[in-house]
Amino acid sequence: MSNTTVTALQALSITSSLMVAGGIATMSLFDIPMLQAQRASRSLPSVRWLFSRGSHIMPMAAFAAGTGFVSLAFLALPPAATTAGGGVLARVLAGTKTRGYLAAALCNFAIGPVTGLMLPTNMALIKKNEEQGGARSVRAAKDGARQYKPGQRSAEDSIAGKGEGNQFTDLSGPQEKTPLGSSEAEDEEVRELLGNFAKMNAVRAALCMIGGFIGLCTVLV
């Protein structure tokens, strides 16, 4: 593989990793605190919209970064003749750059399990939005209002886009507020759920940031 191709792969992997880190960190540091200051009837639709948009971009970008780092690790493997035994494990252990790229890849891939741990919180927020008649977006609210009443759909139905049209072609903004209002108890419950989400989301941001910096340091070594 040419040096130009390797350089491009390095740039894309590092940039993607740090871009994901910045995007995810923005949610925890700025978006969520602003939403916590609002009533649940207004914060829930915005959170649902962020979940939808984020799921289209961040996981794919993190996976692309991880895959790029794995490819770079393979390209950085030292020749078999220079390692004791010449096996793949021996070559990995002997290659400083290979180990660095693999560590960067692992950090990016690790957001998958962390996201799995976040699912109960995410699903609870989506369910709350559905109970109050909220939708994925302005356009989805118009489409869904013709078929479903508040609370008729589950969180799974919302994720599947049931009655709301294609989520990948829906470029409309977030719904301003849910049709039903929220009580003070519901507002407090949603604030707590958002706080839990922000903490776990920050872990994902840290993993991608660490991965990006490890990748950058590996390139510069």
- Indicate if the pLDDT at residue 133 is higher than 50: yes
Structural domain count of the chain: 1
Flag the least confident range among 17-21, 123-127, 171-175.
171-175
Long-range contacts of 111-120 (CB under 8 A, 24+ apart): 111/20, 111/59, 111/62, 111/204, 111/207, 111/208, 112/59, 114/200, 114/203, 114/204, 114/207, 115/59, 115/204, 117/200, 118/197, 118/200, 118/201
Q: What is the distance between the alpha carbons of residues 89 and 129, in angstroms, rounded to a whole number?
A: 49
Average pLDDT over residues 72-85: 69
CA torsion angle 47 134 59 119 (round to 10): 80
Mean pLDDT of the chain, nearest integer: 87
Q: Give the model's confidence band at 152: pLDDT under 50 very low, under 70 low, under 90 confident, else very high.
A: confident
- Indicate if the pLDDT at residue 95 is higher than 80: no
Boundaries of domain holding 10:
3-220
Flag the least confident range among 104-113, 124-133, 164-173.
164-173
